[in-house]
Structure 1
Amino acid sequence: MAASTTVTWEDAPGDEDPARRAAQIASLTGLRGFAALMVVLIHTSVLTEFSWLGVPEYGPVSLFVLSGFLLYRPWARWGMRTGSRPDVLDFARRRLLRIFPAYLVVLLVVSVVYADDRPEGAREWFQAASLTWIYTTQDSVRNSLFQTWSLATELSWYVALPIMGGVAALAARRMDPRTGLRVTAALLCLSVPISFGYRRWVETEGLEDYLTYTLWLPAFLFCFAAGAMVTLLLEGERARLVRLTALRRVCEDRWALLVLAVAVALVGTSSVAGPDGFADIAYGEQQLRVSCAAVVAVLLLLVAVFGPPSGPVNRVLSAPWSNAIGRWSYGIYLWHLPVVVVLERDLTFTDGLGGLLWRLAMVLAVSVPLGAATYAWVERPTMAWARRRYPSTSPSRGRRVLDPPTAASSSTADQPSAATADTQRRRSPEA
């Protein structure tokens, strides 16, 4: 999932001043943290009479949208002839090293602590360790690690992206740049009928193990493509192929997109989108629910990318505590559900608002420190090792992670100054 995606200096457009770019990176990191907290909220509130609390589907959908935005950029640049051809081997290596070390640590710890959800036999261990369990029967699902379905979906996106991005870029490079951008945008738009056509096919076929089919990449391809579309527009503007005057004008309004996002979220949580919680809902209700979540995710991404740093949303997203949660979000995402399951087994909670608040306090009190420890002791050392072991050779790479919201001066539009690069090198290398 996009919670495992590192936000780097190049994840903000190079034609902006350094302070603006650092602010945008901080907002993107905070947005990742917010999505992870929404996942925690949903999985906690559903155990209470407040199962309506939180926007259904928003957490994983938002992370998919963010992943599409961050990871599609090299292919967008290559298609527009503003960047070099992406190194697929380098991409795959970094993505695998970013996801699996922390995940395998959590899998082993949970298997020791909570024997009820321990995989049985070599086949189940392989499926759990390789994140391929969503392609098998529902019997292989482990309650304490069920949230990792989105990791498995994300992993399939990593496989599909070089193929889809490469084909689109090759087609675009055979045309004049503006036509190529339009063709690429049209190809991204095809993800909408593909996703909802696939969802309808799963519904009408009455497939055995219905649940697992609904978790596969085709069902969420439009979410990744929506984030990729934002990247395409951003890079198109940077290459002077498209003007985003109207979009920027709307995004510069401090409240417009936030109010719209709240309105869409209210529709997604209303009775029109089905009953609260994880109850079975009708096909139309499910599609409305996931569509509302995707729209909210895209709106907040647009605010983070195009909105003013001083706006209310970006001020919250770029706050130091929000950025800390963003950096630890992958670990929080991995640990929170096992924590929820164990607490429900061992503790008795009261009903009402007090029970909800006590659950949330307990889950966060355990999950956040575990997430921070996982980032410090597993994720960050792995990223440092990966950078030393597999240094980037492409001139369009050589990136460094900026620990937002630290702003630094830049000697050029696209590259930090030597002092900035040295500071970033000492802090947190790119995944």
Structure 2
Amino acid sequence: MTSTITTLTATRSKLLPPAPRPSRGRALELQGYRGLAALSTVLFHVWQEWYTYDAAGAHPPVDSAWLGALISLEVIDLFFVMSAYLLTLSYARAAIDGGTIRTGRSFLFRRAIRILPLYFLAVLVVWASRNPTLPGDWRDLVEHLTFTHVFDQERIFYTLGPTWSLSLEVAFYLALIALGPVAVRVCRRLSTRRARVAVCASGCAALFVLPVVWISVAHYVVGVPHTNWPVYFGPQARFGGFAAGMGLAVLLVALGERGRLSARATVPLSAGALAGLYALSYLSDPENFAHTYYHPIAAVLWFTLLYATLQVRPREQVRWHVVLRAPWVTAVGLISYSLYIWHEPVMLWLIKSGLVPTSRAGFPFAALIVLAVALAVGTASYWLIEYPASLLGKAKDGKGATREFYPDPTR
């Protein structure tokens, strides 16, 4: 079973927006991964809620360790690896093959347009509903609005529990605009492509190793318990997922069209990565090795799975990718951010209102109800908040914002 975190069946497809056409490469498959990961996150948090707060005591709502390992498999590292891969691509191309990059101001503007309107709205709505009289827990509000709640042992999971991961995303954005241009400048002084690749790869490897060292010292030397959330959930411990995504971007840029995999070759590689992720979830128990190093190991396995997905020869089709490209899966991927933001408050509201069964036997029905309502809310949130906000970024680019950089590879 995986470590306890408070992050990160669908309803009918008619509730969801149509999936967009892929703009490049394997974009549709990545959209599918987002969709499946978002659904898995919702199901995991329902599982966790019933596991922890069932009136009969803390025990799994489904009496099967094999099924429990599948439901409780954590996918937050997949989001980190994908995000870092997509956002690092332009820097990797500029560092290894030359070219220009987006200015830090432009990059942060587009990231802010992408995440802040929905996030700020959700924080204010949920916080106000739980703090009806002022000043309320004003510190909780301030920390969530400044993405610093990940460093507060008491409040890290307040208001919007899963959004501790957004604190790490913001830290990654700042790290990327600080380190990316430096890497580009250093690489431009190198005469060979091999040397430029080596510098970029070494930097990614160092960024991956540092959190592993931090975890090792914290757990085995200092003896910090795994329930010390800021120690093990902060960027100093979880940056390995982003480093893996950065390394994936460097690897694929370095390879270019070389080393493309046949559809047949991707099957054992993908199956091995998925089997490893499942085994990691099944074997992970508090204080054992799999638990302590769960996230660095998971990041490597997600790296492998995404490599097997992205490096397929252009004209070859992988049979199991039909699931990733299924319209209902990519539609969930489109609204995955809204679904991620709203699913926990939706779940808690449904429980408080008595609209879902709270017994152990009622878990499957509760999961279906929460998924259906959260998908409906996520769909409305995407079209009413996310999509209009995204138009501001496009309008800015259309009115003279610099174009001499690679386009933002995220949607």
Render the CA deviation track for 1:159-188: whole Å, top value 9, x for unaligned: 111222222222222112221101211221
Render the CA deviation track for 1:97-148: whole Å, top value 9, x for unaligned: 2111111121122234444999835433211212211123x22234451110
Work out the CA distance in 2 between the residues paired with 1:23 and 1:312.
17
Closer, same or farther in 2 for the Cα pair 1:117/1:26, shift >3 Å? farther
Letter in 2 for 1:370: V
Further displaced range: 106-115 or 28-37: 106-115
Residue 372 of structure 1 is matched in structure 2 by: 379
Q: 1:360 aligned to 2:367?
A: yes
Question: In the alignment, which of 14, 19, 39 is matched to residue 37 of structure 1?
Answer: 39
Work out the CA distance in 1 between the residues paired with 2:266 and 2:196.
33
Question: In the alignment, which of 206, 213, 234 is matched to residue 252 of structure 2?
Answer: 234
List alignment gaps of at least 5 residues for structure 1.
4-18, 275-280, 402-429
Closer, same or farther in 2 for the Cα pair 1:53/1:129, shift >3 Å? same
**What secondary structure does 2:402 align onto?**
coil
**How many pairs align?**
370
Work out the CA distance in 2 between the residues paired with 1:149 and 1:177.
38
Q: Equivalent residues in 2 for 1:259-408 (5 A)?
A: 259-271=271-283, 273-274=284-285, 281-282=286-287, 284-307=289-312, 310-347=317-354, 349=357, 351=359, 355-391=362-398, 392-397=401-406
Work out the CA distance in 2 between the residues paired with 1:307 and 1:388.
34
Work out the CA distance in 2 between the residues paired with 1:286 and 1:212.
16
**What secondary structure does 1:86 align onto?**
coil
Residue 150 of structure 1 is matched in structure 2 by: 165
Letter in 2 for 1:70: L
**What secondary structure does 1:140 align onto?**
coil
Render the CA deviation track for 1:328-350: whole Å, top value 9, x for unaligned: 00000001111222233333626
Work out the CA distance in 1 between the residues paired with 2:71 and 2:187.
37
Question: Is the contact between residue 113 and residue 392 of structure 2 (CA under 8 Å) also seen in structure 1?
Answer: no
Work out the CA distance in 2 between the residues paired with 1:117 and 1:77.
52
Closer, same or farther in 2 for the Cα pair 1:228/1:282, shift >3 Å? same
Cα distance, 1:305 vs. partner? 1.0
Q: Equivalent residues in 2 for 1:20-169 (5 A)?
A: 22=24, 24-46=26-48, 47-48=50-51, 49-50=61-62, 52-54=68-70, 56=72, 58-115=74-131, 120-136=136-152, 138-169=153-184
Further displaced range: 141-150 or 31-40: 141-150
Letter in 1 for 2:165: S
Letter in 1 for 2:341: L
Residue 192 of structure 1 is matched in structure 2 by: 208
Question: In the alignment, which of 214, 218, 231 is matched to residue 213 of structure 1?
Answer: 231
Render the CA deviation track for 1:9-66: whole Å, top value 9, x for unaligned: xxxxxxxxxx996561111111112221221121112224238243656321000000
Work out the CA distance in 2 between the residues paired with 1:197 and 1:88.
30
Letter in 2 for 1:244: G
Work out the CA distance in 1 between the residues paired with 2:129 and 2:69.
30
Work out the CA distance in 2 between the residues paired with 1:39 and 1:393.
37
Work out the CA distance in 2 between the residues paired with 1:265 and 1:161.
27
Cα distance, 1:395 vs. partner? 3.1
Question: Is the contact between residue 202 and residue 210 of structure 1 (CA under 8 Å) also seen in structure 2?
Answer: no
Q: Percent identity?
A: 25
**What secondary structure does 1:349 align onto?**
coil
Question: Is the contact between residue 23 and residue 318 of structure 1 (CA under 8 Å) also seen in structure 2?
Answer: no
Work out the CA distance in 2 between the residues paired with 1:95 and 1:350.
38
Cα distance, 1:356 vs. partner? 2.5
Closer, same or farther in 2 for the Cα pair 1:116/1:39, shift >3 Å? farther
Question: Is the contact between residue 114 and residue 342 of structure 1 (CA under 8 Å) also seen in structure 2?
Answer: no
List alignment gaps of at least 5 residues for structure 2.
1-7, 9-20, 52-60
Letter in 1 for 2:376: P
Work out the CA distance in 2 between the residues paired with 1:266 and 1:389.
43
